[in-house]
């Protein structure tokens, strides 16, 4: 890392995964930077209101400022306004975890969630909003890849990495491009992508893409996830029509979001209505 900005962002991204805070020495070791330089950066971030020192251990932790800015952006962009009611209904109907991811540049990023199970066995991964989706091992990632050509899908996976760099990855995560392409072919034939014991051991998920007005550009992906013992093939087939209907509803509601409108304009600067008037 060379720039001050890059070092600052590395610290912020690290602290996102440690809400209770971390000592300076651990932060420096994690980002491979000298303690003295990390301490100066933390002091500057604290002055700007992005981090604080905890009273007990004097560790450094994020303040609420950055999450509040993110939530404010999602709200003003209209993402949560149009998406959350649909996610909440699907969560109640399915009794499982619902997640919406949106395309941002070359990445797929989780932005909204709804939990349908309030007790008993459930899949509850914690705070994933803002996390970049690993394409090859997740249902949402494979749903997005499945609407591309094999060549484009492989290029995106190669750029991100076939194997997710994490402490826990499922035993069924694709470990070869041949296996991944087989999963994508199955998703196209089935109408939805699945990931069982892939992204996380013991978890299963299914996902479809969200298209603007049903047949327009792909805006993101909608998924249902839960314990693999409950999310069987039969259960996923039963949930598929509801998942697809919710994705279609989101695609229609996207017209009310400034964020999604800007994405559509970027993908297609001359929408069909404008071409007809020309």
For 101, half-sphere exposure in the C-beta direction (CA atoms, 13 angstrom radius) is: 28
Residue-level pLDDT at 148: 96
Q: Are residues 10 and 77 in the same domain?
A: no
Residue 238 sits in a domain of what CATH number? Answer: 3.30.450.40
CA distance linking residue 123 with residue 225, whole number of Å: 7
Instruction: Check if the beta carbon of residue 157 is closer than 8 Å to that of residue 107.
Output: no
In 3D space, the residue among 250, 255, 258, 237 whose CA is nearest the CA of residue 89 turns out to be 250
Q: What percent of the chain has pLDDT over 70?
A: 81
pLDDT class of 7 with cuts at 50, 70, 90: confident
For 126, half-sphere exposure in the C-beta direction (CA atoms, 13 angstrom radius) is: 6
In 3D space, the residue among 90, 228, 188, 200 whose CA is nearest the CA of residue 138 turns out to be 200
Q: Are residues 52 and 83 in the same domain?
A: no
- Asked if residue 58 has pLDDT above 60, the reply is yes
Asked if residue 275 is part of any domain, the answer here is no
Residue-level pLDDT at 274: 43
Q: Are residues 37 and 105 in the same domain?
A: no
Residue-level pLDDT at 268: 62
H or E, element range at 196: strand 193-196
Q: Which residue has the higher pLDDT, 115 or 181?
A: 181
User: Residue 196's beta-bridge partner residues?
Assistant: 204
Q: Are residues 34 and 109 in the same domain?
A: no
Average pLDDT over residues 26-51: 91
Asked if residue 277 is part of any domain, the answer here is no
Q: Are residues 172 and 252 in the same domain?
A: yes
Instruction: Using the Cα atoms of residue 175, residue 176, residue 180 and residue 183 in order, give the sign of their dihedral.
Output: negative
Residue-level pLDDT at 112: 86
Residue-level pLDDT at 216: 87
Range of the domain at 155: 69-267
SS3 220: strand
pLDDT class of 128 with cuts at 50, 70, 90: low
Residue-level pLDDT at 264: 72
Residue 46 sits in a domain of what CATH number? Answer: 1.10.10.10
Asked if residue 98 is part of any domain, the answer here is yes
Residue-level pLDDT at 267: 64
Residue-level pLDDT at 133: 92
Q: Are residues 59 and 77 in the same domain?
A: no
Tally of domains in the chain: 2
Q: Which residue has the higher pLDDT, 266 or 61?
A: 61
pLDDT class of 278 with cuts at 50, 70, 90: very low
Asked if residue 176 is part of any domain, the answer here is yes
- Asked if residue 277 has pLDDT above 60, the reply is no
Q: Are residues 85 and 206 in the same domain?
A: yes
Q: What is the pTM of this model?
A: 0.72
Asked if residue 81 is part of any domain, the answer here is yes
Residue-level pLDDT at 263: 67
Q: Are residues 98 and 212 in the same domain?
A: yes
Q: Are residues 155 and 253 in the same domain?
A: yes
Average pLDDT over residues 221-238: 96
Q: Are residues 235 and 102 in the same domain?
A: yes
Q: Which residue has the higher pLDDT, 166 or 215?
A: 215
Residue-level pLDDT at 137: 95
Question: What are the phi and psi torsion angles at 127 (to 5°)?
Answer: -75, 110
Asked if residue 157 is part of any domain, the answer here is yes
- Asked if residue 243 has pLDDT above 80, the reply is yes
Asked if residue 22 is part of any domain, the answer here is yes
Final residue of a domain: which of 63, 88, 104?
Answer: 63
CA distance linking residue 228 with residue 140, whole number of Å: 16
Q: Which residue has the higher pLDDT, 74 or 101?
A: 101
CA distance linking residue 18 with residue 203, whole number of Å: 23
| Poorest-pLDDT segment among 23-27, 66-70, 136-140 | 66-70
Final residue of a domain: which of 16, 35, 63?
Answer: 63
- Asked if residue 153 has pLDDT above 90, the reply is yes
Final residue of a domain: which of 33, 63, 93?
Answer: 63
Q: Are residues 231 and 255 in the same domain?
A: yes
Asked if residue 273 is part of any domain, the answer here is no
DSSP 81-125: HHHHHHHHHHHHHH-SEEEEEEEETTEEEEEEEEE---SSS----
Q: Which residue has the higher pLDDT, 259 or 28?
A: 28
- Reported as a single tens digit per residue, the pLDDT across 110-127 is 888 898 876 655 565 655
Q: Are residues 225 and 143 in the same domain?
A: yes
């Amino acid at each position: 890392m060379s720039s001050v900005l890059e070092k600052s962002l590395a610290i912020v991204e690290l602290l996102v995964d440690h809400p209770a805070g971390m000592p300076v020495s651990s932060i420096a070791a994690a980002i491979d930077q000298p303690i003295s330089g990390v301490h100066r950066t933390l002091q500057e971030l604290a002055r700007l209101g992005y981090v604080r020192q905890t009273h007990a251990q004097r560790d450094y932790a994020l303040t609420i400022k950055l999450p509040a800015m993110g939530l404010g952006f999602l709200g003003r962009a209209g993402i949560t306004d149009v998406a959350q009611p649909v996610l909440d209904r699907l969560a109640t109907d399915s009794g499982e975890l619902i997640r919406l991811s949106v395309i941002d540049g070359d990445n797929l990023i989780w932005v909204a969630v709804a939990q349908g199970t309030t007790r008993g066995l459930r899949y509850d991964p914690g705070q994933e909003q803002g996390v970049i989706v690993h394409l090859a091992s997740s249902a949402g990632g494979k749903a997005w890849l499945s609407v591309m050509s094999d060549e484009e899908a492989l290029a995106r996976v190669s750029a991100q990495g076939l194997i997710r760099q994490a402490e826990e990855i499922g035993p069924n995560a694709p470990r070869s491009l041949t296996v991944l392409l087989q999963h994508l072919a199955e998703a196209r034939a089935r109408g939805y992508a699945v990931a069982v014991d892939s992204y996380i051991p013991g978890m299963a998920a299914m996902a479809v893409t969200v298209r603007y007005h049903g047949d327009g550009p792909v805006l993101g992906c909608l998924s249902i996830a839960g314990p693999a013992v409950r999310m069987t093939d039969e259960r996923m087939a039963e949930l598929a029509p509801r998942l697809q209907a919710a994705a279609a509803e989101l695609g229609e509601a996207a017209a009310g979001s400034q964020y999604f409108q800007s994405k559509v304009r970027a993908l297609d600067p001359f929408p069909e209505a404008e071409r007809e008037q020309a």
